Structure 1
Amino acid sequence: MCVTFLYLNADAVGDANKYQLIVLNNRDEDFDRPTSLAAWQEGILAGRDEALPNERGGTWLGVKRDGRVGILLSMLEKNSLIIPGAPTRGRIVNEYLNSGCSAEEYGERIAECAHAFNGFNLLLLDRQDILIYLFRIYGFGNSRRQTPFKKVRHGTRLLEEKIKQLNGRPKNELIEEFIRILRDDTCHHPDEQLLSQTDQPEECSKEMSKLFYRFPPPFRYGTRSHTVVLIDGFGHVNYLERSQIPPSKDFENISWVDSVYEFDILD
């Protein structure tokens, strides 16, 4: 379970006080699943899943210095629909960012074999395509985009309101306000679409209806990290990942750590 919100504005190009791209992402995962903090590795800035011995380094969100961004969200599926032994989806973002392909080219390539994987939503961005979108805000979750969960619609509305208040404010303030959106714990239960996709106990489905959540004990699952990416009109990137570490047994005193990066997109 994850959510991603995107703001795209082609009119921002050349204006340091505006943003070509804003990305907000929550990663929801097992608290004990081995994960490394966001770092540069082989030209990709990303947090990484370290759970699978032969597939370590897969990621849910990655950025390259050329401005390309890849984001993967797993589809929420009932146990009966999960494909045993399906290839890991964690390699897909890295594969795109390492491919040299445009977003459109890689999208066509992965579509040919997507049936082999368990369900996913894949967001691919590159600077060549930004002119297609003059000004748009998007929300994505663990369902088809045509049938979003209530929390995705809610988060999209929160971002729409926040975008109206940008007004050249300091980036560190904006990032914290975007984090507050990602930490919104408004409950949207019952969510008929969410319930139709899961066979989890109702107490877990209720928590999953929130943007920011954790399952009740003894379950150890919930929101583990928040990521905010800003790309301004001059191609300067601010990246913050706020992650829960180490996996805590004390839910009331969870520690969080920030991984912060800045760089300029290479033309």
Structure 2
Amino acid sequence: MPKSILCSNRDEYLSRPTEFAHFHSFETQGHLRHGILQDQQPGQRPTQHSQYSNTVVLSGIDVQAGGTWLGLAKTGKLALLTNITEDTTLNFPQSRGHLVASFLATPPSSLTGLTDIEQYLRGLVGPSDLTDEGRARYAGFNLLLLSPRVTFVSYEAYLATNRGASGQITYRPLTHAERQYGGLSNGSDGYGGKEWVKVKKGLEILRTVVKVAEDSNMDHDKIIEELFELLTWTSPTPPTSRAELCNTIQVDPILFPENTDGNKLAQQPKGYYATRLATVILVKRTGEVVFIERDRWMLPDEAKSNAERKQGSEWSGDRSRQGEERGERKPVLASTLSSATQRVYRFKLDM
């Protein structure tokens, strides 16, 4: 059995420009400047800063706003972001994807007695919550941060959240029970988020997968397929509104009028919202990693272009998803039988 397992879906508008998972540096791609992620101006050369230049990250990239929703640094640091489901008319100056990217790109702690996570979180909370005008920087979010201890035998794990739009950012270490089997979704920590149907169902399936794997000495490939199967669980009653997304792990396409999460950078025209990507990450005690990102729902133009893509880090053509919905084009479900619909990375962390 691997030491650590993480499986996650990314639910998003299918027309939102996105780069698939690949090794990169946020800095060299122009997404990181002075430790803060910003949009790069057309034709502008990315600013170089030596303290970030050696930070190698495996993640996708949100082309529209910068940052990412899930990423793993070669040092072993891992971060996962979920939005909090809410209705708000407020506007926020910074994308939540910046939180993941800035943590992964932050150099090791130089402060005596502080871990990498503690150093990052101390800089995140407090006055930095607000802009110079006194406005909150981020719409509602949950942020899971993991950092390996010296021997890679265990991970330090924290949850940071603002519990909704304009809320104060707080953080706490995960409990012992959460470190064994934890579930994170789009509810507020301490306010019923753990009671969501999708969270409870996901944890139920995960416990079963792990127990069977331990009892039968299941190989890693089989474990991976079982975890991807978990991520495809759908509610017997398909959701038709944002409020009902709490009842299903995989979101089948829903036609929403717009993104109303309060983030100007995230505003979208009318279009389909669904589970776009599923990701499974296994980390062994030796620091060996298996990272697989698999397509789920996509627009027809994407499905056609994916047939030209190769598995893993070998590519033909552009990595980004640039398609926009036209008329009544219907989303299609990616075929899991084709290597063109997934990216597979096997490597060892820098220990």
TM-score between both structures, scaled by the size of structure 2: 0.61
Out of 167, 182, 191, the residue aligned to residue 138 of structure 1 is 182
Matching residue of 1:125: 146
Distance apart, 1:50 and its partner CA:
0.8
Kept after mapping to 2: 8 A contact 1:245/1:255 = no
- 1:222 lines up with 2:306 in the alignment: no
Alignment-derived partner of residue 97 in structure 2: 90
Structure number with the higher strand fraction is 1
Residue number in structure 2 paired with 1:153: 200
TM-score by length of 1: 0.78
Whole-Å separation in 1 of the counterparts to 2:10 and 2:3: 23
Structure 1 37/228 Cα, relative in aligned 2: closer, same or farther at 3 Å?
A: same
Equivalent position of 1:182 in the other structure: 231
Name stretches of at least 5 consecutive residues in structure 1 with no aligned partner.
1-17, 191-201
Distance change in 2, residues 1:145/1:162 (3 Å): farther
Give the gaps of 5 or more residues in structure 2.
26-55, 110-115, 130-135, 158-175, 257-270, 301-328
Give distance in 1, aligned partners of 2:102 and 2:345: 22
Q: Which residue does 1:75 correspond to in 2?
A: 84
Deviation at 1:209, TM superposition (A): 2.1
2:345 to 249, 261, 267: 261
Q: Is 1:188–1:206's contact at 8 Å kept on the other side of the alignment? A: no
State the alpha-carbon separation in 1 of the partners of residues 181 and 245 from structure 2: 25
Superposed, 1:1-267 pairs within 5 Å as 18-42=1-25, 43-52=56-65, 56=66, 58-80=67-89, 83-100=90-107, 101=109, 102-112=116-126, 113-114=128-129, 115-128=136-149, 130=155, 133=176, 136-146=180-190, 147-148=192-193, 149-167=196-214, 168-187=217-236, 203=241, 205-206=243-244, 209-217=247-255, 219-244=271-296, 247-248=299-300, 249-255=329-335, 257-267=341-351
Question: What is the alpha-carbon distance in structure 1 between the residues aligned to residue 289 and residue 203 of structure 2?
Answer: 22
How many aligned positions are there?
233
Change (3 A) 1:184 1:171: same
CA RMSD of aligned residues (A): 2.5
SS of residue paired to 1:66: coil
Greater relative contact order (CA < 8 Å, ≥ 6 in sequence): 1
- Segment of structure 1 superposing worse, 67-76 or 243-252: 243-252
Note closer, same or farther for the CA distance 1:137–1:208 as it changes in structure 2 (3 Å cut).
Answer: closer
Matched-pair identity in %: 25
Which of the pair has more CA radius of gyration? 2
Give distance in 2, aligned partners of 1:66 and 1:253.
Answer: 34
- Larger helix share, 1 or 2: 1
